[in-house]
């Protein structure tokens, strides 16, 4: 199979799954809420994919980027008469700006130090959401966001959830393409060979700022959709603990492709909210599963599925490589 046709197969197959998911949940408010939560997790996880899984930098302030997208939507919906679609780029740009400033402040940090400072930032952000009452509504949040309208007709939640699912698919596809592009290869290479990349004429610090900004924008998009479908925002939706769920989703689902992040999100929501057996123990079960995957099965679920598929077709090697760029 050529590269072009395998790319087409990837796009069609994943689109088919996204459309199937839309048909599955559409019209059922409970399933729509579950799908929205899954999509929100997937957006954060996809946002972390570029800087974290590909770039190797564990920046953890993603609750803040999600929150910026959500509060941008809430403020546009309650304090302006603008079309709500404007909130999406506003939230994304705000999040990107914050990510760049935080990235510059932490540009000399890596590993544990970077994780610690970005976690502190995430905590400070959720404190600020409650603290800055005049702007954010404090602990009561912002309620009764107006629904978006098209030609004067309000757009219903089913349509919004369908748009959200399609947006997750599109972001996943774009990230998958980006991963295989020259840019993606440079991002993955600097993780282990920063000096080589630097000597090839790429400023590694600028590169990581770009990845952080893009990641923040993806998370902010998730926040905007989350707010518009719920018609409300509450500060407790944006606590830093969220990041502990989302950072492990690609590891569980499989890090070879962004789709692994989405698969991880589906699994987490299924285990923690859907199956009654796991309801009280879902997070514990998830965290133990993550540890098991980290220690014993580092490719993640999707990684092994792809490996099995390749074996089935009699292909060896191929792109089963976990870290090295092709």
Partner 1 sequence: MPAQLLVSIVEIGCFFALIALSYLIVLYGAGFFHFALGPYAMFSALGAAYWLSVDEWPLWLACLSGAAAATLLSVLTELLVVRPIEKRADGEELPGLIAVVAVMFAVSQLGGWLFGRRPLPGQPWIDLEEPIEWGSAVISGQAVATLLVTLALFGALAAWLRWSRYGQWLRAVGENQQAARTMGFPVARIRLVAFAVGGLIAGVAGPLFSSKAGVSFESGLSYSLFGFIAFVIGGTGSVWGPLAGGLFLAALQIVASYVFGSPSLNYATLIAAVLFFAFRPEGFFARRVRH
Q: Which residues bind partner 1 (CB under 8 A)?
A: 56, 58, 105-106, 108-113, 115-117, 119-121, 123-124, 127-128, 130-131, 191-192, 240-241, 244, 247-248, 251, 280-281, 283-284, 286-288, 290-291, 294-295, 298
Residue closest to 128 by CA, chosen among 112, 115, 139, 117 = 139
Smaller CB distance to partner 1: residue 90 or 114?
Answer: 114
CB of 302 to partner 1, least distance (A): 17
Measured from the CB of residue 22, what is the shortest distance to partner 1 in angstroms? 32
> Please, which residue, 78 or 110, has the CB nearer to partner 1?
110
Helix (H, G, I), strand (E, B) or coil at 265: helix
Q: Nearer to partner 1 by C-beta: 124 or 170? A: 124
Q: How far apart are CA 256 and CA 185, in angstroms?
A: 13
Say which DSSP state 323 is in.
S
- Least distance from C-beta 195 to partner 1, angstroms? 15
Tell which residue, 185, 212, 273, has the closest CA to residue 47: 212
Provide the strand spans (E) within the chain. Answer: 149-150, 153-154
In angstroms, give the least distance from the CB of 116 to partner 1. 5
CA distance 199 to 113: 26
Alpha-carbon distances of 100 from 87, 97, 115, 188, 252, rounded to whole Å: 20, 5, 16, 20, 28
Cα–Cα distance, 22 to 10 (Å, whole number): 18
SS3 category, 233: strand
Q: How far is the CB of 105 from partner 1 (least distance, A)?
A: 5
* Complex with partner 1: residue 83 or 241, whichever CB lies closer: 241
**Which of 148/235 has CB closer to partner 1?**
235
Q: In whole angstroms, give the CA distance from residue 36 to residue 42.
A: 10
Output the smallest distance, CB 182 to partner 1, in A: 23
* Complex with partner 1: residue 28 or 280, whichever CB lies closer: 280
DSSP category for residue 149: E
> For residues 266 and 169, is the Cβ–Cβ distance under 8 A?
no
């Amino acid at each position: 199979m050529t590269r072009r046709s395998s790319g087409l197969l990837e796009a069609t197959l994943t689109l088919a799954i996204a459309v199937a998911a839309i048909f599955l949940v559409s019209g059922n408010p409970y399933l729509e809420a579950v799908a929205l939560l899954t999509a929100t997790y997937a957006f954060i996880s996809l946002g972390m994919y570029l800087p974290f899984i590909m770039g190797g930098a564990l920046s953890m302030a993603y609750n803040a980027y999600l929150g910026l997208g959500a509060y941008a939507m809430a403020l546009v919906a309650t304090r302006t008469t603008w079309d709500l679609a404007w909130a999406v780029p506003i939230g994304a740009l705000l999040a990107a700006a914050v990510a760049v400033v935080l990235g510059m402040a932490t540009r000399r940090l890596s590993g544990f130090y970077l994780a610690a400072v970005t976690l502190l930032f995430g905590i400070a952000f959720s404190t600020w959401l409650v603290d800055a009452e005049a702007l954010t509504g404090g602990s009561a949040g912002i309620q009764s966001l107006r629904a978006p309208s098209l030609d004067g007709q309000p757009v219903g939640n089913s349509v919004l959830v369908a748009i959200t699912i399609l947006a997750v698919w599109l972001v996943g596809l774009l990230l998958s393409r980006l991963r295989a592009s020259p840019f993606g290869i440079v991002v993955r290479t600097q993780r282990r060979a920063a000096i080589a990349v630097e000597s090839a004429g790429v400023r590694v610090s600028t590169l990581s700022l770009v990845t952080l900004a893009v990641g923040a924008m993806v998370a902010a998009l998730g926040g905007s959709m989350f707010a518009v479908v719920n018609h409300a925002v509450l500060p407790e939706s944006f606590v830093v603990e969220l990041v502990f769920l989302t950072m492990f989703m690609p590891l569980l689902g499989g890090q070879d492709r962004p789709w692994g992040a989405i698969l991880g999100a589906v699994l987490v929501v299924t285990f923690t909210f859907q199956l009654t057996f796991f309801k009280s123990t879902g997070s514990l079960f998830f965290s133990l599963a993550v540890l098991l995957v980290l220690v014993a099965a580092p490719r993640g679920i999707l990684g092994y599925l792809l490996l099995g598929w390749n074996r089935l077709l009699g292909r060896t090697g191929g792109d089963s490589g976990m870290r090295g760029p092709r």
